[in-house]
Amino acid sequence: MKIRQITAGITICILAFIMTAVIQVQRCGEENIPDMVWYNGELKSIAGELEDGSVKETIEKEHDCLILFLADADYQSRLNECIGSDAMILDLYIKDALGNASGENIFAGKVVWQTKRDYYEELREKLKWEIIMFGGLLLLVTYALLLILYLSYIRPFHTLQDFTAQVAKGNLELALPIRRNNFFGAFTESFDLMRQELKRARESEYQANISKKELIAELSHDIKTPVATIKATCEVLQVKERKEDTLRKIGVIAGKAEMIDNLINNMFHATLEELEMLKVEPAEESSLLILDMFQDFKYYGQITLENDMPECLLYFDKLRLQQVLDNIINNSYKYAGTRVEVRFTENEEGIVIKIRDFGQGIEEEELALIKEKFYRGSNPEGKSGSGLGL
């Protein structure tokens, strides 16, 4: 049961108790207020006891009243005081009073009761307020105890429940708060230690998987470059060679090289897709390394370097730059099939490499899409690829 339901139940019970107690006090007060029947009954009992010879003081104490005899010296003064105090005053008639032997009821004096209506009403109001105050105090104490119960016991479990739900969803960044006055501090701390260990294990696993994928990507690229060279060399030999047997063997080599190239491409692009990003580690390298790259690319087809590369130190990642240039030249050779012109220009930021072929190009409306994953344009028929290169 939730804490709000418990609180509501306790509140209803306490309020019901207060209302019942107030009603009972009201009824009790009304029942204890004397009426004239009661006073007449008391007066008759007092007269009978006096006639039997009972002592006046004993009767006054028993009936909680004051008896004033006419024969008392201070009768009138005391009667005036009682009249001024709004007391209940009844005439007292007894037989044989003051030595009268006639046997008739003779007026002997007054019987005075201090009125109890105001007293009972005050008592009733006092009891009602005491009950209300006691009930309010009981409510405050109950709420305080419930608050302590919630803060010390229930809230930590709710926090732990939310925490375990987040861990189950894979969110290991949410730390479990450990409060100073938490009675289950060591218990919750163990859960947070478990989260930290899970996070550390996940990070280690993630880094291990990234390292494996990066290794596969690098090996794929390293294998792809010599395979491309083999394919280009086979094409040159097929053009120059005249012997049928040699051409057949060259064709077998070219076919197997093409198969290897396709398998490597599939593995390479799948690995890149899982990695989502490539690590780039630039360093100072000689600009002549770029010339060597283009010398290797000449096996793709006719590549013309229109000017010399300025000899200087450049800041780049040799592996990633070779991947970029290989991607561009390979796409040009695959889709355009024309000569490729390369020009080097120098500006304040470094060396600009401009690569141009003379193919038919792509439609203008497709320019915004050519960098989207798996998009290959409208002219890839008969060409292998996955749409991930650019």
Q: What is the pLDDT of residues 14-38, one digit of tens each?
A: 666 666 665 655 555 444 556 678 8
pLDDT value of residue 354: 93
> For the residues 285-304, what does the mean pLDDT come to?
79
pLDDT value of residue 315: 93
78 or 161: which leads in pLDDT? 78
pLDDT value of residue 98: 47
Domain boundaries, the chain: 3-122
pLDDT value of residue 14: 67
Q: What is the pLDDT of residues 116-135, one digit of tens each?
A: 555 556 666 777 777 777 77
pLDDT value of residue 283: 92
Would you say residue 201 has pLDDT above 80?
yes
Q: What is the pTM of this model?
A: 0.36
Q: What is the pLDDT of residues 38-89, one digit of tens each?
A: 888 888 998 888 888 888 889 888 888 889 998 888 888 888 888 877 778 8
Distance CA 319, CA 221 (A): 9
Distance CA 337, CA 192 (A): 61
**Phi–psi pair at 176, nearest 5 degrees:** -90, 115
**Phi–psi pair at 5, nearest 5 degrees:** -70, -40
- The residues, ordered by sequence, that sit 6+ positions from 28 with a Cβ below 8 Å of its Cβ are 124
- The residues, ordered by sequence, that sit 6+ positions from 42 with a Cβ below 8 Å of its Cβ are 63, 65, 111, 113
Burial of 234 by CB count in 10 Å (0-12 exposed, 13-18 middle, 19+ buried)? buried
Q: Is 93 helix (H, G, I), strand (E, B) or coil?
A: strand
